[in-house]
Amino acid sequence: MTLPTTIPLAPVLLAALAVPALVLADYRQWRPGRYLCKPLAALAFVWLAWVLGATHSAYGQWLLAGLFCCLLGDLLLMIERQTSFLAGLGAFLIGHLLYIVAFCQLPLAPGALWFSALPVALLVAASWRWLMPHVPGDMRPAVGLYMLVIGAMLLAASLTWQHAAALWIVPGAVGFALSDLAVARQQFVRPGRSNGLWGTPLYFAAQLLLAASAAAV
């Protein structure tokens, strides 16, 4: 399948409306707006992958499964409880693992590790050093495992470098990983309205890029 000559407007329009509305609702701490807009914004990236033919390839099927897990994680993180946060963390962790499996369905370029291994290791190490002192002891194993899986997902994304889908996969994977820093800052380090101003749009843009990669396979 080649890249589509026309962009499916419906899911893109849904995201263009729901994501800014979600950012505004979170900034004003208006929960009804959050409960309405966040599921719609998450539905947009699943919908985009679907209409771009994700079900027609092994890559797309694994990708779609990962997107569904991320949608579930989004729903769980709307509930402000530690148990819900851990369940959401688990859903996103599975989503990252499914993305890794999806990336491995494509022709891989092991030489890309020469360029990606050091930056990924530095990102994980710096994030670990910054975040872990703020994480409660009973949550450190789960958070630490999640960070390692993120690093593995970034490395797997880099291995697709020679495939046409890498144009979408690499920035999508990087954006997803960086957006998690906003969630971590909000949850453990310094809660505040500013976290969602950049973390939320970055997250949904990253998921839309990953969803769009289905069209390149």
Instruction: Tell me the per-residue pLDDT of 80-98, one tens digit each, with 9 for 90 and over.
Output: 888 899 999 999 999 999 9
pLDDT of residue 5: 47
pLDDT of residue 82: 83
Among residues 201, 159, 212, 163, the alpha carbon closest in space to that of 19 is found at: 201
The answer to the question of residue 3 being in a domain is no
Higher pLDDT pick, 79 / 116? 116
Confidence tier at 1 by pLDDT (50, 70, 90) = very low
Domain membership of residue 151 as a residue range: 9-216
The answer to the question of residue 163 being in a domain is yes
Q: In this predicted model, what pLDDT tens digit does every residue of 2-49 receive, in sequence order?
A: 444 467 889 999 999 999 999 999 999 999 999 999 999 999 999 999
| Polymer length of the chain | 217
**Distance in angstroms (rounded) separating the CA atoms of residues 167 and 170:** 6
Mean pLDDT of 197-207: 97
The answer to the question of residue 150 being in a domain is yes
Mean pLDDT of 70-74: 97
DSSP 29: T
Structural domain count, the chain: 1
Q: In this predicted model, what pLDDT tens digit does every residue of 107-129 receive, in sequence order?
A: 999 999 999 999 999 999 999 99
pLDDT of residue 81: 85
- Mean pLDDT across the chain: 94
pLDDT of residue 2: 45
Among residues 98, 151, 75, 76, the alpha carbon closest in space to that of 120 is found at: 151
**Distance in angstroms (rounded) separating the CA atoms of residues 206 and 181:** 14
CB atoms within 10 A of CB 75: 17
The answer to the question of residue 210 being in a domain is yes
Q: In this predicted model, what pLDDT tens digit does every residue of 55-66 receive, in sequence order?
A: 999 999 999 999
Q: Which token pair is 77?
A: 């993180």
The answer to the question of residue 99 being in a domain is yes
**Distance in angstroms (rounded) separating the CA atoms of residues 135 and 82:** 12
The answer to the question of residue 2 being in a domain is no
The answer to the question of residue 115 being in a domain is yes
pLDDT of residue 6: 61
The answer to the question of residue 4 being in a domain is no
